[in-house]
A = this chain, B = another copy of it.
Amino acid sequence: MATMREVAALARVSAKTVSRVFNNHPYVAPETKERVESALRELNYVPNSIATTFRTGRAPVIGVAVPDIVDPFFALIARAAETLAGAQGMSVVITSIGDDPAREIDVVQALLSQALSGLIIAPVVSDHSYLAAWASRMPIVFVDRQPIRLSADSFIEDDLAGAHLATTHLIEHGHRRIGFIGDDISVPTAAARLAGYRAALADAALDPSDELVALGAGNRAGAATALAELERDSPSALFCADARSAINLVPLVRSSDLAITSYGDFPLADMLSPALTVIDQDPSRLGTLAAQRVLDRLDRPKGRFRRRTVLPVTLIERESCAITSRLTRSNVLQANRAR
């Protein structure tokens, strides 16, 4: 690990000149430059990034905190952010917050106490005032979920409209008793989707009964309980508020005649029988936008930016919703297989 001083000694110049050459500053005599460059090569000089960071006061690192990096939705956000940041010479520290809200503050504080230049966060807790102290020091950008009790940039999806879209889709296919199944309603996105579901029912003058709402489907056992609960009220269709719940639900409804729509696509959703109609999200775009915003804020600390950006979502229509398909299930299976 040669230092600048050692390179300087070898090239018979001062450390400052080495610094100038290394950072391509002008006003270095060509022959000096050449001598320094060969010394640089000879000693295989690599700058000590800790020292640079120390001097600069800020590391070229953006923190990314998401509930779970194993969830492809968040992994796509993280990867997109990493790609964009990497192109600007910044790297990305990823932290999985986990499902336990109690852990979030510790985990995120630990992340922040490193020397980050900025933070991208999809929070689990619903009070983000603990970030206020940090927000004055670095750009903090929320993705997928809005900041609460904190003023910060956010890029989120139109969960309400998406849920409305999916529910309306089921209504248009003739369903009248539509169940809502999700995991944890305290997550703001889930709450918005429930609101969208209810709004769609209201718009169609259908009864938004609480008995048709079941939660806790984040794991297979919970999904089974939730489904059993709903089935007492014999819905003909389900709106599933997130992809993970949908994945848990799929095995359970195989033998039933329930139509299903899911908020969030997932691999093989199109391979099920019947193929699942889903709300399509664009996590990569969220990640790219968030990272770009962090970089923009770093570039122009005094700049003015839109605080809240809501991205539209779309419906991917497959075959899981029609009442008719359920009545002739075996035909549909045949048709699927023939494709």
Partner of A271, one of B111, B250, B338: B250
A110 contacts chain B at the CB level, 8 A cutoff: yes
Partner of A72, one of B70, B78, B83, B89: B70
Residues of B within 8 A of A54 (CB): 50-51, 53-54
Stretch at the interface among A16-24, A28-36, A90-98, A293-301: A90-98
Residues of B within 8 A of A51 (CB): 54
Q: Mark A32-65, 1 if CB is under 8 A from B, else 0.
A: 0000000000001011111101100101010000
List CB contacts (< 8 Å) of A113-151 with chain B.
113-115, 133, 137
A107 contacts chain B at the CB level, 8 A cutoff: yes
Contact A115 B75 (CB under 8 A): no
List CB contacts (< 8 Å) of A246-275 with chain B.
247, 250-251, 254-255, 266-268, 270-273
Interface residues of A (CB under 8 A from B): 1, 44, 46-51, 53-54, 57, 59, 61, 68-70, 72, 75-76, 78-79, 82-83, 86, 89, 91-96, 107, 110-111, 113-115, 133, 137, 247, 250-251, 254-255, 266-268, 270-273, 333, 336-339
Can you pick out 19 interface pairs between chain A and chain B where the beta carbons lie within 8 Å of each other?
Answer: A44-B133, A48-B115, A49-B114, A50-B50, A53-B54, A69-B75, A69-B94, A70-B75, A70-B79, A82-B95, A91-B111, A92-B93, A92-B95, A94-B94, A247-B268, A250-B271, A254-B336, A255-B337, A255-B338
